[in-house]
Amino acid sequence: MVRSESSHEAREVLDADDVQRALTRIAHEVLERNKGAHSVVLLGIPSRGVPLAQRLAARIGEVEGRDVPFGSLDITMFRDDLRLRPARGLGRTELPGGGIDDAVVVLVDDVLYSGRTIRAALDALSELGRPQSVQLAVLVDRGHRQFPIRADYVGKNLPTSTRETVQVLVSELDGSDAVLIGGTADDDPADPTREGRGSV
Amino acid sequence: MTRHLLSAADLSLDDATLILDTADELARVSDRPVKKLPTLRGRTVVNLFFEDSTRTRISFEAAAKRLSADVINFSAKGSSVSKGESLKDTALTLEAMGADAVVIRHPASGAPHTLAHSGWIGGSIVNAGDGTHEHPTQALLDAFTMRRHLSTIAGRKVVIVGDVLHSRVARSNVLLLATLGADVTLVAPPTLLPVGVDQWPCTHSYDLDASLVGADVVMMLRVQRERMNAAFFPSVREYSRRYGLDADRMSRLPEHAIVMHPGPMNRGLEITAAVADSDRAVIIEQVTNGVSVRMAVLYLLLGGSDSALGGDL
């Protein structure tokens, strides 16, 4: 796992409270923009997008007073760099009971970087149904896009150099919430391990 | 990294678990309206079948197509093999056509091994049954089916009954299940157990009723009459009475036990129709699971720049 090796001089840019506040704000923005949570479905991209989607769904549910459907969307099979590295295990795709047809799907990921993950997610989504619209929520936007993709909801804009790594920790998987930034020599924004998902 | 799947013995516990976990995720694709993934687009999978087969060939074909690979089916009947073409020339032809993977079923034990190590062909070789040697994807789908019903395999008691001598399914199952930590017992008349069975990682017995006590899985093997060139048992009636699974024997199994059969079944010989059609039999489910498991194998061998199997995970 590249992330942990490269984080030896990592610096914390968001602490646990900052992450909580960012998620709360995103939850309210989702409600504001969609005029309520009606037909909103949150889909997290494994691995760290999934707990984030779950938390956003819980927060939106608290405000609205009803359960908001959430699930996960694995994009491994749709990556454009599959042939560049050995085959790897798959994450889970799990849609809520109602499916995604005619829903407002909010994709949730930890870091937005090259945009390739989201491109793959849009492809994966089209195999599963036809949402009314698709929005994107990310905890961190670190720039360096390689596709015409932008996020609708951003927890924190983090201007970075391509030589740095951004690592998002979530308590469900890592024991605590934080966003760390560290230095490394590798500078390929297309490398998915740099988007904060070293374990895929 | 191993590019080929030739034997269940080549799979480490990590490899086998990775295949089963991947198959678990891929099984969900079969429940979707669009049962297709773009992963192997542009790759060619050749089904090279020198021996009759329905379910294995169709299963591999469905698996490759669901991953968007191009599939070429080759059966020895109606090909140049009937004009006397050798395995080598057939292999060179397939290589010239650019096969990324060759799924081979052959009556000669070791044919896939020859294909993989001869240098005739550059693609991945997947053994889909060679003679009386091995059938690793069958063992994987059996393990997958067991895991779905029993949730764990380690420590489970699996009884494999019947024509072990001619069975590549039994050999692959014993090897894989030993890796996965199951406790396997082979049951057959002495004439239908291979020489050297005591070297296998399992126990064996001649007494079916005693072996069925406490079994979690009973796997019945087909009596392969097409491979029998001698009298291995006195009569069909005697065989089915001593080694066949009937409703009475099934009723003595533990509540949660499942009955498996790799197919095709000889109803009335190794298994009665009542057992085969009961809700404890997961025989049709084995076929369904076969597609998911073969998708997982093709994906892990061909999906990336290199195979995901055989690494130090």
- Residue B101 falls within a domain, yes or no? yes
- Residue B43 falls within a domain, yes or no? yes
User: Is pLDDT at A7 greater than 70 in this prediction?
Assistant: no
- Residue B181 falls within a domain, yes or no? yes
Are B272 and B295 in a shared domain?
no
Are B117 and B146 in a shared domain?
no
Residues making up chain A, counted from first to last: 200
- Residue B3 falls within a domain, yes or no? no
- Residue A103 falls within a domain, yes or no? yes
Q: Say yes or no for a CB contact (<8 Å) between B39 and A77.
A: yes
The CATH code of the domain that includes A127 is 3.40.50.2020
Are B247 and B223 in a shared domain?
yes
Are B144 and B276 in a shared domain?
yes
Q: Which of A87, A92, A93 sits opposite B303 (nearest CB)?
A: A87
- Residue A4 falls within a domain, yes or no? no
Which residues does chain A have within 8 Å of residue B33's beta carbon, measured at their own beta carbons?
129
Are B60 and B162 in a shared domain?
no
Are B115 and B81 in a shared domain?
yes
State which residues form the domain around B188: 136-286
pLDDT (tens digit, 9 = 90+) per residue, A106-154?
999 999 999 999 999 999 999 899 999 999 999 999 999 999 999 999 9
> How far apart are the C-alpha atoms of A85 and A81, rounded to whole Å?
7
Q: Give the distance from residue A47's alpha carbon to the nearest chain B alpha carbon, in angstroms.
A: 14
pLDDT (tens digit, 9 = 90+) per residue, A35-91?
999 999 999 999 999 999 999 999 999 999 999 999 999 999 999 998 898 888 899
- Residue B2 falls within a domain, yes or no? no
Are residues B222 and B263 in contact, defined by beta-carbon separation less than 8 angstroms?
yes
Are B89 and B149 in a shared domain?
no
Are B274 and B189 in a shared domain?
yes
- Residue A180 falls within a domain, yes or no? no
Q: Give the distance from residue A161's alpha carbon to the nearest chain B alpha carbon, in angstroms.
A: 28
> How far apart are the C-alpha atoms of B47 and B91, rounded to whole Å?
12
Among B102, B98, B108, B96, residue whose Cα is nearest residue B73: B102
How many domains does chain B contain in total? 2
- Residue A167 falls within a domain, yes or no? no
Which residues does chain B have within 8 Å of residue A91's beta carbon, measured at their own beta carbons?
25
Q: Report ipTM (2 d.p.).
A: 0.80
Are B142 and B246 in a shared domain?
yes
Are B191 and B70 in a shared domain?
no
Q: Kindly give, in sequence order, each residue whose CB lies less than 8 Å from that of residue B115, ignoring residues fewer than 6 positions away.
A: B87, B91, B102, B104, B121, B125
- Residue A122 falls within a domain, yes or no? yes
The CATH code of the domain that includes B114 is 3.40.50.1370
pLDDT, mean over chain B: 93
State which residues form the domain around A80: 17-160
Are B257 and B172 in a shared domain?
yes
Q: Give the distance from residue A189's alpha carbon to the nearest chain B alpha carbon, in angstroms.
A: 19
Are B193 and B93 in a shared domain?
no
Rounded to 5°, the CA angle B4-B82-B134 comes to 30
pLDDT in tens, chain B (313 residues): 678 999 999 999 999 999 999 999 999 888 887 888 999 999 999 999 999 888 999 999 999 999 999 999 988 777 777 777 889 998 998 899 899 999 999 999 999 999 999 999 999 999 999 999 999 999 999 999 999 999 999 999 999 999 999 999 999 999 999 999 999 999 999 999 999 999 999 999 999 999 999 999 999 999 988 877 778 888 889 999 999 999 999 999 999 999 999 989 999 999 999 999 999 999 999 999 999 999 999 999 999 888 888 864 4
pLDDT, position B2:
76
How many domains does chain A contain in total? 1
Among B295, B292, B290, residue whose Cα is nearest residue B53: B290
